[in-house]
Amino acid sequence: VFYHITYPSNEKEKAVTAIQAQFNVLSMGRYDNAAKSFDRERKILLYYTIAGVTTRGNELVSQLCKKHSDRIICKEVGMYDTEFASGETLRQLHTFCNANPSSNAIYITNQLADVVTSKNRYDATKVEAATLAVVSKMCHPSEECNVCGTEFYPLPFVHFTGNMFSTSCAYAKDLLPPKTHEKEMRNIAGDAFLAHLRKQTTTELLEFTPQILGMQQHSIEHWIGGHPELKPCDVAPTNGENFDRPILDRMKHYSMSLTPRRGSAPPGSLDDENESRFRLKREISFREYYYLAGNVFRWHLLYGRVPDASGWAWQWFPDGQLWEVAARTSGVNAVKEIAKQLGIQSGNMEQFWVE
């Protein structure tokens, strides 16, 4: 388990409560859905980094590691004065996966990445729930699923709730190094802004924000879902979660399934009915940056390819089958070919792709 800990200069009490909740979860072991109980046979090996007020953070974590030493083996791998050093923990995970490609790795953090609001970043109840889910045995990578999280959403960018996940190292090792990814996402954000100003793409569903574009520290939220070979799954109930229930009772309602299987975006960020109607407007949705126009563009710039024909994205996004064939066979002329198939004008969107 790779654990990024933020000990902020403000909201200290909330951050500490979230950290304590996560250590309690880890000390219980991995939840086994078949047995409806926690498996405590093996200890958790925890690699952690601390960002922010590192002296106090280190004191707290040292105390918690000592308290739970019968269940958790703690290894500190980095301390950083800035509160935005999350990419360092992912770098450690990426290095581990390159050295151990047949293994799996889990990433957790006490600071939620919320695409709806920046409030409640240290909501202990939600942090606890996400940690419990990704550490559980049901959230285990397989041939069909190479990354598992609590909830998976394709919009406004491909991500898992809280940016916590369990991944196969066979998948994670092929991702760009986090620092390289951050640099590339900064360049892509500039291209996306320019394309929007030139009206080459649309952003009808949501306005651009640094988080949505993956700029600076937000690039880490795009990292795990950014590869075209992503095979996502999630475990949380699709009808919402009752956080008033005891932990064990909540987990009985969890089950692993391939995704997407819930709404397009986290509740509160997008109106489902409006988005459903928007998907049917083919001439507009064809240009929408949050759909395949943006995703295919990013896949090409980051990894030089698109998903194979069985990829989830071709099944889920509007006109996915047309995009799949055109992106694979027509290269930079894909936009022109898709527009021809749809019987619409591609306009200056072709210029965005060729450039």
Alpha-carbon dihedral sign for residues 145, 147, 151, 155:
negative
Which residues are CB-contacts of 39 (< 8 A; sequence separation ≥ 6)? 29, 30, 31, 32, 137
**Angle between the 320-329 and 334-342 helix axes, to the nearest 10 degrees?**
140
pLDDT bucket at 354, cuts 50 / 70 / 90 = low
Check pLDDT > 70 for residue 205.
yes
- What's the pLDDT at 345? 65
**Measured in whole angstroms, how far is the alpha carbon of residue 110 from the centre of its chain?**
15
Main-chain phi, psi angles of 43, to 5 degrees:
-75, 155
pLDDT tens-digit readout, 282-292: 888 888 999 99
pLDDT for residue 49: 94
pLDDT for res 184: 96
User: Using one digit for the tens of pLDDT, what is the confidence trace for 194-203?
Assistant: 888 888 888 9
Over residues 212-219, mean pLDDT: 92
Per residue in 58-83, pLDDT tens? 999 999 999 999 999 999 999 988 87
How far are the Cα atoms of 25, 70, 80, 201 from residue 28, in angstroms, in the given order?
5, 11, 29, 48
pLDDT reported for residue 116: 58
CA distances from 162 to 88, 107, 319 (A): 17, 10, 29
pLDDT at 252 over 70: yes
pLDDT computed for residue 217 by the predictor: 87
Which residues, in sequence order, are bridge partners of residue 168? 104
pLDDT of residue 242: 65
Given this model, what pLDDT does residue 140 score? 93
Backbone CA torsion sign across 239, 244, 249, 250 = positive
Question: What is the rounded average pLDDT of the residues 157-177?
Answer: 97
pLDDT at 340: 78
Q: Is the pLDDT of residue 348 over 80?
A: no
User: Distance between CA atoms of 66 and 281, rounded to whole angstroms?
Assistant: 58
How many other CB atoms are found less than 10 A from the CB of residue 333? 15
Q: Work out the pLDDT band at 165, boundaries 50, 70, 90.
A: very high
Q: Do residues 229 and 205 lie in contact, with contact meaning Cβ atoms separated by under 8 Å?
A: no
The Cα 336–Cα 136 span in angstroms is 46
- Using alpha carbons, select from 261, 185, 191 the residue that is nearest to residue 226: 185
CB 191 within 8 A of CB 225: no
User: In angstroms, what CA-CA distances link 165 with 11, 245, 272, 344?
Assistant: 24, 23, 25, 40
How far is it, in rounded angstroms, from Cα 213 to Cα 156? 9
Higher pLDDT, 152 or 242: 152
Distance (Å, whole) CA 149 – CA 13: 26
- DSSP secondary structure code for residue 179 in this structure: H
Inform me whether the pLDDT recorded for 118 exceeds 80. no
Residues ≥6 apart with Cβ < 8 Å to 141:
104, 147, 148, 166, 167, 168, 171
Confidence of residue 331 (pLDDT cuts 50, 70, 90): low
What is the pLDDT confidence band of residue 34, given thresholds at 50, 70 and 90? confident
102-106, 115-119, 166-170: which range is least confident on average? Answer: 115-119
Residue 337 pLDDT > 80, yes or no? Answer: no
- Average pLDDT of the chain is 89
Which is more confident, 267 or 245? 267
Instruction: Please give the Cα distance from 154 to 12 (Å, whole number).
Output: 32
**Whether the predicted pLDDT of 136 surpasses 60:** yes
Residue closest to 264 by CA, chosen among 147, 166, 119, 158: 158
- Measured CA angle at 301 (ends 295, 303), to 5 deg: 90
Write out the two tokens for 193. 């802004």
Percent of the chain at pLDDT > 90 equals 63
